[in-house]
Every structure is written in C-alpha cells, then in structure tokens.
Amino acid sequence: GQNIDQPTEMTATEGAIVQINCTYQTSGFNGLFWYQQHAGEAPTFLSYNVLDGLEEKGRFSSFLSRSKGYSYLLLKELQMKDSASYLCAVKGGDYKLSFGAGTTVTVRA
Amino acid sequence: IAGITQAPTSQILAAGRRMTLRCTQDMRHNAMYWYRQDLGLGLRLIHYSNTAGTTGKGEVPDGYSVSRANTDDFPLTLASAVPSQTSVYFCASSDARGAPDTQYFGPGTRLTVL
C-alpha cells in the first residue's frame, strides 16, 4: 500500500515563509505532485517533481529526495490568499495518484 | 472552455436510493478519475478510466460503478446509497500521454446520504 504523511495544520504570518513537509512510502515512484485546495473548491495543480532537487515557480518551490522518500513545498512571501489546504500526492508504480490528508495553512495578518 | 464540469453541485439523498453523479470534460483528455474526499482521509480513488471503453477499480470501489461510453463523459453511479457514502466527490481528467500527466479536477459534488 501507499503511505503519505504531512502535518495537519500550520500557521504563519503574512510575508513570512512556510515549509510543508511530506514523507512517503509507496510501491514504485513515478512523480510527486503538490496541489492547493481552497475551502469548498477543487484541488488545483501547483508543482511536479520526478527527479531529486528543487523546482521553483514564483513564490512556490518544491523539493524532492527520492532516496529519503521526502518532499517539501516552500511558500515564500505569504499572502492572505495562500490560506488553503496543500495536498501532497505520489504517483506510484501503478501510475495512480495517492494523496496525503492535506496540510491546512492559515495565514495571519 | 469549461474544463471539467460536475452535476449536481450538491444533493441530499435517502438511503437505498440510486444516484448518478455526472462528469464531463472538454479537454479531450484520455483518462478520467473519480475520487471521494473525507475529512482527515484525503482524496481516495474510487474508479478510473484510461481511455473510452475501459474502466478500472481504485482504492475504494465497493458500492460504486462507472461507465465510459465516450471521451468526454464519465458518470459515477451509486446503486443503493448508504450513509457511509456521504462525502465530497471529485472528478478529474488527465492527458495520459506522458509525464507529468497532471490531473485536473472538477468543482465537486457534495453528497449527503440520510
């Protein structure tokens, strides 16, 4: 089976940086995705990592270490609109996505 | 371009009733998926279809059926609803022609079974 762990909640101040960690144990690996989901809305794609290292996309960056089964999503210069749930998802050997339970980030003024 | 649409937006259903959740995409994606999202459990795959005419079972398929008669539509049917099927249901689609094969989600259907 697949096991994907991420913290349940995080709180940060507007303008700060927050790092959301994700650890995984899966049968095979074909990429790791991060999605953002605002309350009551659909998940939207943020980033994709398949090789080790850092992928940067504006204020958001995602890191992957396949040997450690570890990823993080880094949110810089936090804005109020970044308050949302962030979902870590791993594509396993069967090419199906398995999702973590999500991390709810609250940005405070 | 609408992307992915789902209907209904929400529904309250009596236990034992039959219900079909509709999903339509206009991106000509090959693959489509149905997930349910429950508090504390994240998104779980119910059924999927890699291409029109084929379907497969996901992690939690019991009590649900799907069909894929064409590329655009992927309905999910609950033959006899039970309260444990109360959830938010998301349909997704992907191109499935190579990495990263990103999945794009519809707006969801909130279903309550009483």
Q: What's the pLDDT tens digit per position in A8-20?
A: 999 999 999 999 9
Measured between beta carbons, the chain B residues lying within 8 angstroms of A97 are 43, 45, 103
The stretch A68-90 carries a mean pLDDT of 97
- What the block records as the tokens of A42 is 């659909």
The stretch A55-79 carries a mean pLDDT of 97
For residue B57, CA distances in Å to A2, A98, B25, B61, B69 come to: 16, 14, 20, 6, 17
Mean of the per-residue pLDDT values of chain A: 96
Residue with tokens 């609950």: B78
A102 contacts B90? CB cut-off 8 A: no
Strands A103-108 and A9-13: parallel
Task: Provide φ and ψ at B84, rounded to 5°.
Answer: -70, -10
Distance CA(B57)–CA(B112), nearest Å, equals 23
| pLDDT at residue B16 in the model | 97
B41 contacts A48? CB cut-off 8 A: no
Distance from CA of A16 to the nearest CA of B (A): 27
| Selection from B21, B1, B2 nearest residue B11 by Cα | B21
A97 contacts B100? CB cut-off 8 A: no
Measured between beta carbons, the chain B residues lying within 8 angstroms of A100 are 42
pLDDT along chain B (114 residues), means of 10: 90 97 96 95 95 96 97 97 98 87 96 98
Distance CA(A92)–CA(A104), nearest Å, equals 24
Residue B80 has a CB neighbour count (10 Å cut-off) of 11
Q: Residue A94: closest CA among chain B residues belongs to which residue? A: B58
| pLDDT at residue B1 in the model | 56
Do residues B98 and B34 make contact, with C-beta atoms less than 8 angstroms apart? no
Task: Provide φ and ψ at A81, rounded to 5°.
Answer: -70, -10
Do residues B68 and B52 make contact, with C-beta atoms less than 8 angstroms apart? yes
Handedness of CA A30, B88, B27, A37 (dihedral sign): negative
